[in-house]
Amino acid sequence: MGAIILATGISTDKAVKSSVEHAVIAAKQCIAAAQIKAEDIALIINNGIYRERNIVEPAIALFIQKELGINPDFVKDNNGKDAFGLDLMNGGMGALNAMKVADSFLQSDSVRYVLIVGGDSHPSNNNPSDFPYTTAGSAMLLGKNVDPKCGFQGFAFKSEKFEGQGRLSYIEFKNVGSDGRNRITIKTAPGYAPAALKLAGATARSYIANHKLTPAKLHLISSQLDSHFAKALAKDIGVSEASTVDLFGQYGDTHSATFGVGYHQLQKKGLTKPGTEILFVGAAAGLDSGVVHYVC
Amino acid sequence: MKSRFESIGVYLPKTITSMTDRIASMVNPPPFDLTAITGIQEVRTADKDDDSYTMALAAARDCLSRSQYKPEDIDVIIIGSITRFTGGGEVRNYTFEPPLSHSIKFALGAPQAMHFDVSNACAGMFTGILLLDRMIRAGTVRNGLVISGDFITPITETAVKEIVGAADPQFGSMTVGDSGAAVIIDRAIDDADCINYFEIMSCAEYSHLCLGMPSEKSEGMALYTINAEMHKKDRIQLWPRFQLDYYKKNGGDIVSEKFDHILHHQVGSRAISNFSKYGSEIFEAELPKSSLSGVELYGNTATTAHMVVLYHALKDKKIKKGEKVLIVPAASGVITGFLSATFSNLKV
């Protein structure tokens, strides 16, 4: 028996520019909604990619852990509880990888709660117009499931090669001079979003067939690479438009925060009642895709 | 169900740089003897075409060359480098998206593997090992490859230009060397080869003590460490206190565990000696006299440090069949923990 989603939180205020701040706001909301003690969270996975000042050490998850006060000093806290934070990086797919990791930790009885946070900010925190992502944050708290019919029902991942890896981002040290803390180069290959859509659709269709799912019963929460992505994917795999979470119009591409934002929106609409079936479908640069069936 | 180290591989660049030459290249050489403090005689520095990707790939291929698994048998590939430089040793594009693990898995011939990178300072490989250990224990994967290619010496290039004064926060950057390392973790068959237990934690109160980011004085990556705080006795003793707590909850103690060797992070010979000394005080017991080390020849190779030493200890037959090693991670964050492993059939 694996994990269930206990609560979510989101942070979408445009006045907030920092990915850490967004993640912390979302996580506080999430922990409050779950009505648990922060100290009972033992694993914090940050799947955000873009971070202020291009900090590469330590993990951004640790700044979030500190702000949330989750067992920041094992000795001084003196409660016998510890926590571990890490950054898991796989573009817009990282949250799905993190869900699988969290599911395994909970199945192996290693931890009581896992907090997954996501969110991206331009390193300069100025969010220039050519930054393709919306700066936002989401948090998802996972706990142990007691009913095998509920929770995550098995993950599938599939990758492909693609020209220019679809989207490639890097600090171009030869061209940034002493402004490396504020600069990021993001190159998107022609045809990236349609190719990612095609791969995600194929992976999802195969998953639906293998798991004998009925598309008409599913709600779809997917990556939102552009304004067409969610609806086109739903059509490809047979999920109705009414059951598709379309975030792009409201938020744009929230990238690593997308799955948390999507689940939060379904929950707010009262669509996560027991027995509700959700299909999470991710697509990311590489190319990479992933699917998991979740039963509320 | 336990996991084990099934195979191990390392890549070391051919270029050897002596600490004497490195110190001589500093714009402002320090008023103290850095070689004596660190015990580092020389380090490897990336050859012309090396970058994080190429070193990770070379180490992974070395690891697979002595594994029972073929690339197509691997379930998960995790890259745990601090650095993700691509484009060659001259270009140095520090990549964020997609993860290096995507191109590595295709280069290895393992397109079926789930892949992602983890970033967790010098604990990157341990983070990958932890995730795999727990996934294997849960039965959700059978095996996985944890790889790191740490082209870390660009921070040294920044440091030699920028260090001013004896308390400069970039002195740690003078101790690093380049390398790649890889391990395959799979299900243990018996207790002769297994990870007996592995716990790791981040004490994020100290997350500000060591920061890696681009320099704002010159072109390049830099690392800034408040060494006096980072290596304070209290910080170091987080590890033995954590391990003692584990024994309190799960039974056992450091003496009855009968470790044959201890393996610390390779930050310098004096620091390594202090780790065991301060640990001993908390355990109120002697720690293994055999402290495995490679700091003299390779310096601090960041995420790969423990694995480079483990590789050579196995190759040089310092670890004998059935011996137990206490491996102690240490990283910015502050991250610490303990991994108990028994080795019998892991060969180099």
pLDDT of B219 higher than 70: yes
Interface mutation target, options B51, B79, B97, B117, chain A, most CBs of A under 10 Å:
B97
Residue A195 forms contact with B (CB below 8 Å): no
* Cα–Cα distance, B348 to B342 (Å, whole number): 15
Q: Is the pLDDT of residue B341 over 80?
A: yes
Partner-chain residue, chosen from B154, B213, B249, that has the shortest CB–CB distance to A55:
B213
Residue of A nearest to B91 (CA): A174
Angle at CA of residue A267, ends A266 and A273, nearest 5°: 105
Return the exposure string of B195-225: e unless at least 16 CB atoms fall within 10 Å of the residue's CB, then b: bbbbbbbbbbbbbebbbbbbbeeebbbbbbb
User: What residue segments make up the domains of chain B, in order of their start?
Assistant: 3-187, 194-343
Report in angstroms the alpha-carbon separations of B274 from A105, A296, B172, B245, B286. Answer: 33, 51, 17, 21, 13
Which of A72, A110, A167 lies at the smallest CB-CB distance from B134? A110
Are the folds of B3-187 and B194-343 the same?
Answer: yes
Q: What is the DSSP letter of A57?
A: B
Instruction: Determine which of A192-196, A223-227, B90-94 has the lowest per-residue pLDDT on average.
Output: B90-94
pLDDT digits (tens, 9 = 90+) for A242-259: 999 999 999 999 999 999
Task: Report yes or no: B347 at the A interface, CB cutoff 8 Å.
Answer: no
Kindly report the average pLDDT of chain A as a whole number.
Answer: 96
Each residue of A166-181: b (16+ CB within 10 Å) or e? bbbbbbbbeebeeebb
What is the predicted pLDDT for the residue at B88?
Answer: 84
Tell the CATH superfamily of the A153-295 domain.
Thiolase/Chalcone synthase (3.40.47.10)
pLDDT of residue A1: 60
Cα–Cα–Cα angle for B63, B68, B70, rounded to 5 degrees: 75
Q: Which residues from chain B sit within 8 angstroms of residue A88, using beta carbons? A: 116-118
User: How much of chain A, in percent, has pLDDT values that exceed 90?
Assistant: 95
Instruction: Please tell me the predicted confidence (pLDDT) of residue A110.
Output: 84
- Say whether residue B28 is in contact with chain A using an 8 A CB cutoff: no
pTM for the full predicted model: 0.98
Written as one string, the DSSP assignment of B215-280 is -SSSSSEEEEE-HHHHT-HHHHTHHHHHHHHHHHHH---TTTTT-SEEE---S-HHHHHHHHHHHH
Residue A282 has which token pair? 């991710």
Cβ–Cβ contact B100 with A under 8 A: no
- What residue type is A247 in one-letter code? L
> Which fold does the domain A3-149 belong to in CATH?
Peroxisomal Thiolase; Chain A, domain 1 (3.40.47)
Q: Which residues of B touch A91 (CB under 8 A)?
A: 97-99
The type of residue at B323 is E
Task: Let me know: does A109 contact A146? Beta carbons within 8 Å.
Answer: no
How high is the pLDDT of residue B228? 85
Contact A89/B245, CB-based, under 8 Å? Answer: no
Number of H helices and E strands in chain A, helices first, is 9, 12
Asked if residues B323 and B225 have their Cβ atoms less than 8 Å apart, the reply is: no
Q: Is A247 within 8 Å of A220 (Cβ atoms)?
A: no
Cβ-based burial of B247 (10 A; exposed 0-12, middle 13-18, buried ≥19): middle
* pLDDT (average), residues A141-156: 93
Cα–Cα distances (Å) from B111 to A3, B50, B140, B142, B201, in that order, read: 27, 23, 18, 16, 32
Encode pLDDT of B292-333 as tens digits: 999 999 999 999 999 999 999 999 999 999 999 999 999 999
Q: What is the DSSP letter of A215?
A: G
Neighbours of A198 (CB within 10 A): 18
Query: In the predicted model, what is the mean pLDDT of residues A131-142?
Result: 97
Q: Say whether B112 sits in a helix, a strand or coil.
A: coil
SS3 of residue A98 by DSSP: helix
Q: Kindly report the nearest CA distance between residue A26 and chain B, in angstroms.
A: 19
CATH 3.10.105.10 is held by the domain B194-343:
no
As annotated, the residues of chain A forming the CATH 3.40.47.10 domain(s) are 3-149, 153-295
Residues of A in contact with B107 (CB under 8 A): none
* Percent of chain B whose pLDDT exceeds 70: 100
Q: Which fold has domain B3-187?
A: Peroxisomal Thiolase; Chain A, domain 1 (3.40.47)
Q: Which of B85, B91, B155, B202 to mutate: most A Cβ within 10 Å?
A: B202
Q: DSSP secondary-structure letter at A229? A: H
Which residues of A fall within a CB distance of 8 Å from B237?
75
Tens digits of per-residue pLDDT, B173-215?
999 999 999 999 999 999 999 999 999 999 999 999 999 999 9
